[in-house]
Amino acid sequence: LGPAVRYGISDPISLQEAEAHDLVLSERMKEELEMVFPTETPEGMERRQGVLQELERLFHEWMLKQCMEANISEEEIKKSTVKITTLGSYRLGVVHPGSDIDTLCIAPPFVRREDFFSTFATVLDQHEDVSECVPIPDAYTPIIKLKMRGVCIDLLFARLARPPEAEVAEEVAKEDEVLKNMDEKSVRCLNGFRVADQILKLVPNQETFRRTLRFIKYWARRRGIYSNIVGFFGGITWSLLVARICQLYPYYAPNQLVNRFFRLYHQWQWNWAKPVTLCDILEYPATVPGMSAFKVWNPKSNPADRQHVMPVITPAFPSMNSTHNVTETTKRILLDEFKRGFEMVQNVEGNKAEWCDVYAPFPFFQEFKHFLMIEILAKSEDVYNKFSGWVESKLRILVMQLEVVNGMRIHPNPLQYDLLESDGEWPFGCDMFLGLSFTPEAGAHASLQIDLRPALTSFMEVILTWTERDAHLGQFRLRLRRLAASDLPYAADSQPAGLRKRPREASD
C-alpha cells in the first residue's frame, strides 16, 4: 500500500486503481449518457454566466438604493461589496441544459431580509428578461424562484451579521465564525453554499465525482426517485451519497463507483444510528460563545432525529440531515431501486445489458392497476404556481396517512402531468399520481373494500390550512380521484396518451 490516504471518517475500502476494461466501460457509460443527458453546451454556459452577471448588477443597484434610504455612509457602502455566488449542482459542475442555478446573495447587515423578498422581488419581476417570479419568504429555506432568459433560478439570501472586508465575502462565508449572530434563515441559506464547497474539498478526484454523479442523477430521474419534496432524495442527497463512495474507492473509475454505489446503499443498515457522512459531525462546546446554540443533527441528544429513516448528513457546520422527508414507503422504493441498479450494472459488466438498460424509465403507469389522481387547479398562473407548490410540499403527508392503511402499498410519482381532463373553468393545473397496490394478504377483493376516505379527508384539511387561502379564495381547487388503470387513456406499452411529462427541473 502507498502512503496512508484517508478521505472522510474511515479508511478507504480499496486503494485499487481502475483496470483497462474499467476505463473502456466508463468511456462507454459517458458516451451513452452524453447522448441522452448531455452536459450544458458552451453557449448555454455563456448564457448562464450572463444571467448571473445581470442578477449581480440588479442586486448591486438595488443595494445602493437601500443604502441611500438607510442613510448609510459612503464609506460603509464601499466596504460592504455585495456578492452573488452559486451553490448546488452549478457549483459542483454538474450542469445540463435543464438545470437550475441555485444562487446566493450575500448581503451586509444593513440590508433587510423583508426588503429582499418585497422590493427586490419587484425589481426582478419587472425586469423584461424575467418570468415566473415567485417569492417564497415563509419557507423553511426562503427563496425567490424565477426564470431569466429561460434559465431557472433559485435565489437565496443570507445577511451577514458583521460587514465583511471588501472582496472577501465569499471566503468569509466558508468560515464557521461567520455564522455567529446570524439569523437562522440566513444560516440555512449560507449552508447550501458551504455544503457545496465542502463536498468539492472532501472528494479525492472532482472529475471522477462529477462523471459518476451525472450518471446517478439521470438514473434517479428516470426511475422516478429524484425529489426531495415528495420524500425521495433531492440533488444534495445524491451528491453526498456519490461523494462518500468516491472517498471509499479513491482510485476507481466511474463505472466501478456506480457499481459500488448501488451495492453499498442497498446493503447499508439504514437507521438513525448509521448515517452517511463525509466527515465528523462537528459540535462546538458550550464554552465557545455564539457557536454552541446552532442545532446540529444529533440523534443521541435530540429524539426527533431518531425519526430519520435514511439519514444522509451535510458536511458543513451546522450539519443537518438532507433526507428528513423520507418515509417507510419511499425508503422501500429507494432500496428496491438500489437493488435493481446493482443487478443491472452487473449485467452491463457481463455484457448482458447496456448502460441505457440501467436507466430505463420506471414504467409507472404499467406497474399499477389502481391510482390516486391529485388534480391541482387554479384560475391564474400566479395562483397555480403558489398553490401547486403548496400541495406538492404536503403530498408526503398524504403518503404517510395512506401508508398506514392495512394491506395497501403506495408509490408516489414526483412528476406533474398535463391535466387529463381540461376544464374551461380551471385554465391552469396539473395532475399528480400515486400508484396503489394491494398485498395478497389483504384478500382478493381488498382493492374494493379498502376505504381511503379518512386519509383523503384529513389530507384535504391539511391543504386548507394554506396561509394564502383567504387571499385567493375561489381561485384554486384540489380534487382527489381514485382511478383504475383502465380509466387512463393509454395504449399498452406506451406512455399514456395525453399524459405528458411537464419539465419541472426547478423545484427538484
Give the residue numbers marked as catalytic: 89, 100, 102, 154, 217, 226
Among residues 155 and 430, whose Cβ is nearest to ligand 3AT? Answer: 155
Q: Yes or no: say if 14 and 263 are a contact pair by the CB < 8 Å rule.
A: no
Three-class DSSP category at 472? helix
From the CB of residue 506, how many other CB atoms can be counted at a distance below 10 Å? 19
Closest distance of CB 359 from Mn ion, Å = 20
Residues making contact with ligand 3AT (CB under 6 A): 87-89, 99-100, 102, 141, 143, 154, 192, 234-236, 239, 508
Q: Yes or no: say if 377 and 476 are a contact pair by the CB < 8 Å rule.
A: yes
Among residues 291 and 506, whose Cβ is nearest to ligand 3AT? Answer: 506
Closest distance of CB 285 from ligand 3AT, Å = 27
Q: Yes or no: say if 134 and 223 are a contact pair by the CB < 8 Å rule.
A: no
The one of ligand 3AT, Mn ion, none whose footprint includes residue 192, by CB under 5 to 8 A per kind, is: ligand 3AT
* DSSP bridge pairs for 484: 370
The one of ligand 3AT, Mn ion, none whose footprint includes residue 141, by CB under 5 to 8 A per kind, is: ligand 3AT
Closest distance of CB 140 from ligand 3AT, Å = 7
- How many angstroms separate the CA atoms of 180 and 291, rounded? 6
For the chain, how big is the Rg over CA atoms in Å?
A: 24
Comparing CA positions, the residue from 166, 63, 134 lying closest to residue 384 is 134
From the CB of residue 450, how many other CB atoms can be counted at a distance below 10 Å? 17
Phi, psi at residue 404, to the nearest 5°?
-90, 0
Place of cell 455564539: 290
Closest distance of CB 90 from Mn ion, Å = 7
Among residues 72 and 179, whose Cβ is nearest to ligand 3AT? Answer: 179
Closest distance of CB 162 from ligand 3AT, Å = 22
Residues making contact with Mn ion (CB under 5 A): 88-89, 100, 102, 154
Instruction: Write out the E strands in 191-329.
Output: none
Cα–Cα separations (whole angstroms), residue 104 to 143, 147, 157, 159, 318: 9, 15, 6, 10, 18
Among residues 239 and 247, whose Cβ is nearest to ligand 3AT? Answer: 239
Phi, psi at residue 132, to the nearest 5°?
50, 50
Among residues 102 and 375, whose Cβ is nearest to ligand 3AT? Answer: 102
